[in-house]
Structure 1
Amino acid sequence: MKHLITLIIFVAIGLMSAQAQWILTSGDVEMSGNTITAYVGTKTDIIIPATINIDGNDVEVKEIGANAFQSKGLTKVVLSDGITTLNGFSFADNEITELTLPTTLATITGGDFNNNKITTLNGAASKGLIYARNSDATVDETTIVSYGGDATTVNFIPDAVTTIGDNAFSHTLVEHFTIGSNVTALGDRSFDECSNLQTISLTNGKLTEIGQYAFHKSLGLNSVEIPSTVTTLGDGVFSYSSLKEATFESGTDIEVLPQLMFENAGSLQQFEVPNSVTKIGNYCFMRSGIEEFTFESSSKVVSIGSHCFQETDLGAISIPASVTTIYSAAFQACENLSYVSFDEGSQISTFGSYLFRDCTINTLVFPETVNVMGTDFFDGAHIENLVFMSNPGSINPNAFRNSNITFVNGMPFDNGLLFLHRDDNGTLDKTRISAYVGSATKINFIPAEVKTISTNAFKDKNISSVSIPASVTTIEDGAFADNTSLSSLEFESGSLLQSIGSNAFENCYFTSLEIPA
């Protein structure tokens, strides 16, 4: 009798164990075709079967949709043979300790088991590393696609691993990470929103690529050194991070700082560009904490992207001689930017629109090579001293619109007259008007010492009347062309005018005109 009671107890325990692992039915899931799109059940120890009976029909389960079982309090999960695909974060943010994956699984998208407590995988002890699958559903031990363990210090990446896949550690609670000895690539968003990440060691002599947004919103990471072996950085790689220091290992060959690289990295106050870099991408430091920005000697930077330093606390910057182009709004709303200069031998030739929009600058010195200034170049800018070392080849008519500039080349800038031309010795020619960028329609303020009005200086300015001082000897080609409202032109008594260039008054309609003899 005693043996019979013991047998009954064992049977009862076995039944209870079997009943604890719940096989999903149609009432537990939402499906689209052969894909489970959502888990609506309450069981935490589950088996996902190969088929689910829906309205009397056995429907094969082939795929688990993105986020389908995320944050459901699961503790144990068995995926049955027949399931082939997991579509991303499908079982993330649970309490899974035991996991069984099918032999038919051919695709694990990334992050599928992140933020769990896996200690057992397919019946064997596990640290929670989930590997990619080959097309024949065999395990690809070279690529980690998900971390489902609960260790906060990860220093156990196997030597066989060469790739940390997209989203592999994103949203996990990892605090300290050491890269594996043979890892060559960190995938896109591989550590995205790892808010607890404090230290990361990337130097292994083999890492070449860090993907897009790899450390986006890593709010506990204070410093990082990018190994000299890295040649490619993805967009937004450290955006919205808490980095205070970001450096490159000596000997780096990195050529591009990608767009959005440090966007909104509010704690990053200093940065030095390695001399291997040739391009700084759009929005690279936008809204970061940058105050001091320097370039290593012998800089090779050719271009600075649009909105690169927008809304930063940058105080001063010296542009390397190698830079030829700075794109639109690169310094927009840099309210603390007091000084901008260009290194000797500057090759700069082209600037985009809105470059210094809403900036407050004490001194801005443009080199001799400047050829083009875009629309609203100085829009909203407050500049005390603006210096041109030569006459720019092209000044957009609206370049100075809505600007607040005190002096241009040492001359008061209260009427929109620009004196930009210099002689062979570099001395400013204060007798030649280079351009007019004001808004007045009655031009009666040309200084008495002016001798020359340059080509196209007042072209298409909606001018209605002009008074030419007696000192003017030359009016060059197209100087007042296309002012269709210009009806009155007066020459001061005793005029010394000697020549008027071709088309100087083209498309002007005078009611009366008297040219000095």
Structure 2
Amino acid sequence: MKKQLLILLTLFIATMGYSQTFTVQDSNNNTLRFTVTSSTTVSLITGSTIINTNVNIPSSVSNGGTAYNVTAIGVFSFDGEPISSVSIPNTVTSIEQQAFSNTNLTSVVFPSNLETIGDYTFQGNQLSGLTIPSNLTSIGNGAFRGNPLSTITSLATIPPSITTVAGNNDSFAQGGDRSGIDLIIPAGTTGAYVTDAGALWTGFNTVTENLNVGDTYIDNFITYEVTSAASSTVKAVGYNTAGGTVVNIPATIPNGLITYDVTEIGNNAFQSKNLTSVSLPNTLVTIGENAFFVNNISSVTIPDSVVTIDDIAFAQNQNMTNLVLGNSVTNIGDAAFRFTGLTTITIPESVTNIGVVAFGGLGNIITDVYCEGLVPPMISTSSNLNSDTFNLSRSSIHLHIPAGTMGVYVTDSGALWTDFNPVSEDALSIDDFELAMDIKVITTSYALEVTSSDSVRLENYSIFSLSGAKIATGTESEISTASISKGIYILKLDFDRGIVVKKVLIK
């Protein structure tokens, strides 16, 4: 008998301990009320005193020397309170019925460990977008009704259970009309969410699969592969020639509500596609091996964003007579422009390495090479033309280099830019005459506008072609370009305090 009484007393004490309530202040001086649900956990309950519209729920609280994890937000906890924002810790696994109904929430970040959202939990708020965490398994009746929802992103590969009805118990929409809401779901889950028998996530305005790294996607005949889901970047990896011989690769591509930046051209992406023209975006960083190998491209401008042009990237474009290399290119791979029709080549100062047989190969057709860098790029110099960067006799190529660089390019011990004939120190280097950071040249459809601070005065200008021919001179800060052909030129600006030389694009 005594033993039975002891057991009953122990159970009573345990029950009393678990039903204990206490309050704790959050970091914004709100008084939050908790009830003990186990020896290590508590749930937030009604009775909190909110004096700050920003509520910060702690992950753990202490009472009487005992620490507890906050694992639940109980029924009606903040119902009707004037809350504008709430921080919910990752320890919370359930948010129960009407816990945040009819508050002023405009956004909410759900904890990654959240498993259940109860009935009418966030009804009557100002939520326009939701991100459903991957562990969520169920969303109750009317949980988000009465909110101006426009976008829902679910990270759960298994769709959480929801209520789909025409009435007001629909999980997301008053009256069950979801036609104004766009849905984003994980890659490969459209069936489970939308189209399979019994799928509940139906009736949304659009459904977009958030692609994973390695997933491919076709836009305007070009196939793209996701390279980063976090930063939304892709590379072009293939092309359907039904799109024609003129290709304009965009800076971004859409996939439903997600926009991806095009940062790479993948290996072999446009190989042997009979292209006559290609436009590259200023988001590109890398052009891969064989990317445009064997085509009929006559002219190409490499954007300033590109750092690397890999091996054989533009080789066997025998009609190519014009090449503009961007000012960020550091590496030009082996045979990158071999067997093209280039006669004049301008190497930006950013280039540090040019691979074997990168240029040449169609006979002795290269006549001029302009190097803009004060430090010569590394090249291959060999009597075996198949091991030489220029893949042809240099004795008929005119090398143009910046003033004062004859030694490092040609005559110093170990210099690699040898055997060119002639060699002249007449190349205009962008950094030869650096005047001030405030000198800007703005290109319009009819003029070049030179702007500077009041501390300097423009005395005259000269415009040169990339081959060094003088095109125009004058003294105006607004330079008319109506009579000059479109293309890339060198603009030399003489100020009373020095000289600035820039590359410009005349439209």
TM-score with structure 2 setting the length:
0.49
